[in-house]
Amino acid sequence: MALIVQKYGGTSVGDTERMKNVARRCIAAQKAGHDVVVVVSAMSGETNRLLKLVAQITDRPSEREQDVVVATGEQVSIGLVAMAIHAQRGKATSFMGHQVRILTDSTHAKARIKSIDGERIHAALKKKQIVVVAGFQGVDEAGNITTLGRGGSDTTAVALAAALKADACEIYTDVDGVYTTDPNVVPAARKLERISYEEMLELASVGAKVLQIRSVEFAMKYKVPLWVKSSFTQDPGTLVCEEDKSMEEVLVSGIAYDKNEAKITVWGVPDTPGVAAKVFGALDDKNIVVDLIVQNASKDGRTDLSFTVGKSDFVKASELVKKVAKSIKAEGVAVDDQIAKVSIVGVGMRNHSGVAARMFQILSKEGINIQMISTSEIKVSCVVHAKYTELAVRALHTAFGLDAVSASEATVSEAKALKGEKV
């Protein structure tokens, strides 16, 4: 007998028929002899609908009150799923985040889980209940409702699996696993049987929304075996697990894109010590996360500083940076929200050189201009104009040998290309 945490995303609980399907699956897992904890998201579109209501009231919502509103989507789902289980003669109890004390910090809209009290869950499991927990939400020390950022139900599920020492965590979604890239953008994308925690972490951090990044961090830290599966099929899905030798042979395992960032450039910045600290210190004080940063070479004692922030922080960040720019006597600020970040990820990059150069060649062949570049040991990201996103992802997917049909042929040509041979 095992303890399994299953998570069903918005599409999987998108209507009441689908909730009945979820109920069937939970009951089947219990009948197979397992203790079952189910985490559910809001019905698809519901969180967006709630955010629109907020926007109709104000464009500067109190973050505390916004969390009060958006957390309701998951409350509806847990009640309905628990009742769907009852209707199929199963036993189930629903819990909101605060009822099982999913304790978070107080950073509304992107709170981080600090601890979970498993007592009530274990007590309910002992009584053979299926435990239905609301994803995405928690409570801070002061008792305020918090939410974990978009896609946060994944993190609720993995954090619960870690806290309860579950044997597996299964993320049920609308695709049947993790693919080489978003299968909804590139039809030739290939499903991966396994992917390492590290690669999945990079892919999630550069925009593959199939798993929220914090969920992969938890899985990696607590070694939770994490499956991504479809709630509509019996496909075994993709296992996110520890890296092994065979994974290193693949140069690029996945490609991701992110259209949710915007670029801010402070130009004519006096090139003196402490200037960057002032700009980024001010953003950090407001909990605004900065991603890519590029500083140009200085000319006549002045330089340009460009960086990206999430689109949800864009207005706040732009206003703040305009103020700081005045105080440091910069010449001006330019903003651009028509950008996309396209990234290639693979542990094989550790042992192969020339992968970044190859990526730049592929983009240049398509006439795509690169605005910013960032690299890590297993990732290369390029910021390009948003209109080129799909073109860039498809071109890279084919050139790096990831297309489903011609995978092996392309891998050979890619190896040749890297060695400078004609293909």
Q: What residues make contact with Mg ion under the rule CB under 5 A?
A: 9, 151
Looking only at the bridges linking them, the beta strands covering 254-258 and 332-336 are unpaired
- Report the residue number, 254 or 346, with the smaller CB distance to ligand ADP: 254
The partner in contact with residue 152, picked from ligand ASP, ligand ADP, Mg ion, none with C-beta cut-offs of 5 to 8 angstroms by kind, is: ligand ASP
The correct pick among 5, 6, 10, 303 for binding ligand ADP (CB under 6 A) is 10
Q: Considering the complex, what minimum distance in angstroms separates the CB of residue 155 from Mg ion?
A: 10
Contact 138, 113 (CB under 8 A): yes
The length of the chain is 423
Of the pair 151, 401, the CB lying nearest ligand ASP is at 151
Footprint on this chain of ligand ASP (rule: CB under 6 A) = 9-10, 41-42, 47, 73, 135-136, 150-154
User: Tokens 């969180």 identify what position?
Assistant: 47
Binding mask 195-234 for ligand ADP (x = CB under 6 A): -------------xxx------------------------
The tokens of 320 are what?
A: 């703040």
- How far apart are the C-alpha atoms of 182 and 41, rounded to whole Å? 21
Q: How far is the CB of 72 from ligand ADP (least distance, A)?
A: 17
* DSSP letter assigned to residue 233: S
Pick one of 6, 137, 173, 308: the residue that binds ligand ADP (CB under 6 A): 173
Interaction partner, residue 21 (ligand ASP, ligand ADP, Mg ion, none; CB < 5-8 Å by kind): none
Residues whose CB falls within 8 Å of the CB of residue 17, separated by 6 or more in sequence, listed in order: none
Least distance from Mg ion to the Cβ atom of residue 6, Å: 14
The H helix count followed by the E strand count for the chain is 14, 20
The distance of closest approach from Cβ of residue 326 to ligand ASP in the complex, given in angstroms and rounded to an integer, is: 36
Which string of x and - marks every residue 128-167 that binds ligand ADP (by CB under 6 A)?
A: -----------------------x----------------
**Residue 95, φ and ψ in degrees, nearest 5:** -135, 135
In terms of C-beta density within 10 A (0-12 exposed, 13-18 middle, 19 or more buried), how is residue 243 classed?
A: middle
> What residues between 238 and 297 interact with ligand ADP by CB under 6 A?
254
Q: Other C-beta atoms within 10 Å of 216: how many? A: 27
**50: its two tokens:** 């709630």
Residue from 51, 86, 87, 78 nearest 66 by CA: 51
Question: What residue ranges bind ligand ADP (CB under 6 A)?
Answer: 9-12, 41, 151, 173-175, 178-179, 181-184, 208-210, 254
